[in-house]
Each structure stands twice: as structure tokens, then as C-alpha cells.
Amino acid sequence: MSPTGVLIIISSPSGGGKDAIISALLNRFNNSAKLITTTTRAPRPEDKEGITYYFIKKENFEEKIKNGEIIEHNFYAGNYYAITKAELANKLKNFDFVFTNIDVNGRRNLTATDYKNISIFIMPENLEDLKMRISHRGGLSNTEIEERLQTAKQEITCANEYDFQVINKNGKLTETIDSVAKIITEHLPA
């Protein structure tokens, strides 16, 4: 059976709101699901296996790469992140809308495949707001926050590679979600 669903790629810098946006869109679009990423990073207290991520050891991850089981992967903040071919095929076969929150490199890799998709980059209103969001999450040193901001600056320069860009204004998350939902509804690939 061929995939019938549409892959919706939502990217943003760290702290840009992509997870909150995807959660809201899952409630708005019937028969939708989130693509679960496989990672080598350690689970955080709020993580749930198979819901937030699939957690595996670095050796297992590298074995999956070698065996061609990974459609795209990236190395970020000392850990691997990937989308497996099996996860993507299963979700596209069973759902009309499949959301993923991959980064710029992941989007480039996915766009190079034959999977139909809509790509949306969520822009911060400004870097000061983004720094505040990253800081308020907790658990990061000042050095890690600055590293994420430097990465954010690089990612923002790639926003024009996406089909659409939406600014997530501070305190206006509902409006951002509405804008993204409208894009999806009006621009479904044939």
C-alpha cells in the first residue's frame, strides 16, 4: 500500500514553539499523528518512550545507519536524532497528516526524497524573546544557551528554503497556530 498521508515539516530554532504548535495541530486535524524521532540522548523526566522519542544507544543508532534503516539523521548537542524509514512509512500509511519537528538539515534531507510535504519555518519575533524562552525552560548553562542562540541565527538564515515562514510573536501562540493551520489547509500537495 502506497503512502497516502502528507508530511508536514515544522522547524524552528530551539525555543521557537514547534512542539506546542504541533500539539495544537494534532488536535485540529483529524487523523493526524506526530512522527516520533529516534535519538541517542538520555531521556528527560518528562519524556515517554515512543511518545516523545524512541531512545536507543549510540551503537544501535550507528547500526541502523549502516543497515539503511534511517531516512535522515543529524547530530545536535552531542546526540544523534533520526527519522527511521519504518516509522515514516507506517505513519504516512495510517494517517492523513503526519507532523515532524525536524531541523534545517533534516528538512533538506527529507525534501531530497520523494515524500510529498509542506515545510513551514517558525520564526522568532526577535532573538531576545528567543533567548528568554530558551532560558525559562531551565536545565541549560549560559554557555549552552549561547550555543543554541548561535545555532538559531544560522537556522534563521535558512528559513527561505522552506515553503512558508510564520513569525511566532511573543504571547500570540494561538494566532501562530491559526496561521500554520491555514497554510496546511490551503496548500495541500496534489
More confident residue, 138 or 40: 40
Assess whether pLDDT exceeds 70 at residue 68: yes
- In the chain, the percentage of residues whose pLDDT exceeds 70 is 97
Residues 134/12, Cβ–Cβ less than 8 Å: no
Number of domains within the chain:
1
Assess whether pLDDT exceeds 80 at residue 175: yes
Give tens-digit pLDDT for 32-50.
999 999 999 999 888 899 9
What is the pLDDT, as a whole number, of residue 39?
94
Instruction: Name the pTM for this structure.
Output: 0.87
Burial (CB < 10 A; 0-12, 13-18, 19+), residue 145, is middle
What is the pLDDT, as a whole number, of residue 1?
40
Flag whether 45 is in a domain: yes
Assess whether pLDDT exceeds 50 at residue 144: yes
Flag whether 181 is in a domain: yes
What is the pLDDT, as a whole number, of residue 162?
95
CA distance 170 to 3: 37
Flag whether 75 is in a domain: yes
Give tens-digit pLDDT for 100-132.
998 888 888 888 887 888 999 999 988 888 888
- Residue type at 183? I
Q: How far is residue 156 CA from its own chain's centroid?
A: 15
Find all residues with CB under 8 Å of 139, minimum gap 6, and list them. Answer: 44
| Mean of all residue pLDDT scores within the chain | 90
Tell me, what CATH number does 37's domain have? 3.40.50.300
Flag whether 143 is in a domain: yes
Judging by DSSP bridges, how do beta strands 38-39 and 79-84 pair with one another? antiparallel
Flag whether 70 is in a domain: yes
Q: Among candidates 47, 77, 41, 46, which has minimal Cα distance to 61? A: 41
Give tens-digit pLDDT for 15-29.
889 999 999 999 999
Flag whether 93 is in a domain: yes
Assess whether pLDDT exceeds 50 at residue 51: yes
What is the pLDDT, as a whole number, of residue 190?
63
Residue-number span of the structural domain to which 15 is assigned? 6-186
More confident residue, 114 or 5: 5
Flag whether 137 is in a domain: yes
Flag whether 1 is in a domain: no
